[in-house]
Structure 1
């Protein structure tokens, strides 16, 4: 069977970049650990391989798989999501350039852009991405030093407030100003959302999350559909060297093969949990795009296949109630990260988003973030029921 862009998602996930090994017929391609490759004379490379930083067959297979699933022409795999972001910015921006990003961006992204690359001369403005007029004005204004906006950078759904942004409309705003639209597709994954098809120029992933899917590998990716962009990102990947190692690439590839079936279960579980949360008197607000109460529910229905496994919930009892629930579960594990097969609980204000405390990106202190795994949903709800009871016993 010839795998093409017309093949179904799960078919591409299983077969793209995964041709059987011709010598033995092994259906799983071998894991290549070699750091260097024998050459047939000076400059005589075999299949283009010379050194592990420049290329590795296992990493190449993952990159082919990622590109196929996102509908891109090129994908690049990195040692972490932040390494992917750093490489992208260094490949396409220069001191004086400016980024417009969401005002509830992931804390690590903001720390990189503002705290690290700010000293390098990259400016940024954080705005509400749902307000296209505000985005348009920020893009036009550029940086405080007069630099022009190079990137419009959006997470959709966002972390942790679960805001959903109209990718096609935002792409138009960016392109009208000569900027590029970067979409962090980590929460949705390519199974639920394909930003390149909606007009985005660049996709960013923390492959640690849903793509890897088993909480056993750290990685990141950049996916593009433009040869010039690919050349620039590929050069930085090679020149700086924050690549994914062979075992990391292998584990990520293995995770990708089951992404579709896992995302169906993550989404179904999260929907049931979100509906249960909405009926609780202890809850002030549930942020989940699958709920009709979500302000962008109709948009999410339009640009997403399902609504994903992430939920954020705010408590009427304030920070004390949120912290009590976060520390009272047993099926939900209190931990950083998300997107694994196991359910995780996070208190962003003191954990994933501690780096933005005191800024306009600060996360409400009465909020917890749930990453709904693929366990039996009745057990997830029973676990939350037990944790909610702890609020009453503490009051």
Structure 2
């Protein structure tokens, strides 16, 4: 027994322990752009771009999981962009993973390089040994999307900060329940809460977490000035998802591991990528810094036709992009231009009963040539 409740218990009771008699147990949706403001502004709510009680409650709840101050955004990319815009200036250099989420590189190429920011890239597997000279910011994505490469976050962050760089970790494929980047030395932890945190494929959200007051104010000021505001209704949906994130993620992680073990060695599968497998090249570093291995498994089939047939024939798969929802989904990632084989599949485990999901996957694979 412990006298200190877990972060999940504190999140679940964040509101209940503050309620007065007669107040709603469910989080109210404060659907208002303006607030009553007689006299001079005094720090209370006055306009939705500056703050909203529903959104602030959700930020406090995520802050419990991150043990940090949190700013919410209307998507994961908006969260990443807020750090770029609040930190990077003409003449700065940013290092990002070459095998991470492609839209990060697209954003830098389209918006920042024309303003004089230099983008350098490095594979996730080599990030801990990268050259950080002259870098203003280093972005780590671990496990990477979609290849699930893992880097030693603590070692990478330590070397980057010795070189004078700020460190941001995209924690979307893991979540703060599985991995704590700020504890490992990162200055920023960012996540697309669209995925496991909200968990029902019905809302776009993201967040930035930091324990540095100056960095926090920079991100929050950029959000206010740019207007990258989460709607109260979307914040409510995220709040509702947070209530079950631990139990959902536990099933998703178990399903991902079971699927990875089932497809490993199957005659139709040429390669499997999942850091939870004992023979995965990133297994040992994942064990060191992760509490579980996440809901994504990537594997390679012979070609595009086999990949498309597998996705179509597996009756417990939704052919969709994104991950972290309650329904298992899969997609052929080469269709987005990722530098992966044509038969590369990103499989996102949902919360179906594990035996059902494994049976559906293996049956679909058995039909392939």
Instruction: Tell me if TM exceeds 0.5.
Output: yes
* Alignment-derived partner of residue 319 in structure 2: 334
Q: 1:343 to 1:95 in 2, by over 3 A?
A: same
**Which of 328, 332, 337 is matched with 1:347 structurally?**
332
Secondary structure of residue in 1 paired with 2:313: coil
Q: 1:130 to 1:364 in 2, by over 3 A?
A: same
Tell me the distance in 2 between the aligned counterparts of 1:120 and 1:81: 23
Describe how 1:12-31 pairs up with structure 2 within 5 A: 12-16=10-14, 19-22=17-20, 24-31=22-29
Tell me the distance in 2 between the aligned counterparts of 1:211 and 1:101: 24
TM-score normalised by structure 2 residue count: 0.95
- CA shift, 1:105, in A, is 0.9
Secondary structure of residue in 2 paired with 1:286: strand
- CA shift, 1:384, in A, is 1.6
The one-character-per-residue Cα deviations of 1:121-147 (angstroms, maximum 9, x if unpaired) are 222111123325751x2x21xxxxxxx
The 8 Å contact of residues 20 and 27 in structure 1, kept in 2 or not, is answered as no
- CA shift, 1:17, in A, is 5.4
The one-character-per-residue Cα deviations of 1:51-81 (angstroms, maximum 9, x if unpaired) are 0011000100111111110111x11100111
**Which of 69, 73, 78 is matched with 2:73 structurally?**
78
The 8 Å contact of residues 128 and 156 in structure 2, kept in 1 or not, is answered as no
Tell me the distance in 2 between the aligned counterparts of 1:90 and 1:329: 42
* Alignment-derived partner of residue 368 in structure 1: 345
Tell me the distance in 2 between the aligned counterparts of 1:105 and 1:388: 27
1:249 aligns to 2:270 (yes or no): no
Secondary structure of residue in 1 paired with 2:114: coil
* Alignment-derived partner of residue 278 in structure 1: 264
Describe how 1:316-331 pairs up with structure 2 within 5 A: 317-331=302-316
Tell me the distance in 2 between the aligned counterparts of 1:107 and 1:216: 23
* Alignment-derived partner of residue 53 in structure 2: 57
| Aligned residues: CA RMSD | 1.7
Secondary structure of residue in 2 paired with 1:384: helix
* Alignment-derived partner of residue 163 in structure 1: 149
The 8 Å contact of residues 126 and 151 in structure 2, kept in 1 or not, is answered as no
* Alignment-derived partner of residue 9 in structure 2: 11
* Alignment-derived partner of residue 175 in structure 1: 161
Secondary structure of residue in 2 paired with 1:51: coil
- CA shift, 1:189, in A, is 0.7
1:130 aligns to 2:113 (yes or no): no
Secondary structure of residue in 2 paired with 1:229: helix
- CA shift, 1:389, in A, is 3.5
**Which of 154, 175, 184 is matched with 1:189 structurally?**
175
* Alignment-derived partner of residue 143 in structure 1: none
Tell me the distance in 2 between the aligned counterparts of 1:297 and 1:379: 26
Tell me the distance in 1 between the aligned counterparts of 2:190 and 2:83: 9
Q: 1:99 to 1:263 in 2, by over 3 A?
A: same
- My pick for the range that moved more, 28-37 or 324-333, is 324-333
- My pick for the range that moved more, 8-17 or 157-166, is 8-17
Describe how 1:197-276 pairs up with structure 2 within 5 A: 197-276=183-262
Tell me the distance in 2 between the aligned counterparts of 1:323 and 1:214: 24
In structure 1, runs of 5+ residues without a counterpart are: 141-147
The one-character-per-residue Cα deviations of 1:153-197 (angstroms, maximum 9, x if unpaired) are 111111000011111001111101100111011111111111101
Tell me the distance in 1 between the aligned counterparts of 2:15 and 2:170: 23
**Which of 78, 101, 106 is matched with 1:106 structurally?**
101
Secondary structure of residue in 2 paired with 1:345: strand
In structure 2, runs of 5+ residues without a counterpart are: none
TM-score normalised by structure 1 residue count: 0.89
1:382 aligns to 2:365 (yes or no): no
The one-character-per-residue Cα deviations of 1:242-293 (angstroms, maximum 9, x if unpaired) are 1110011111111112111111111111111110010301111110111011
Q: 1:158 to 1:55 in 2, by over 3 A?
A: same
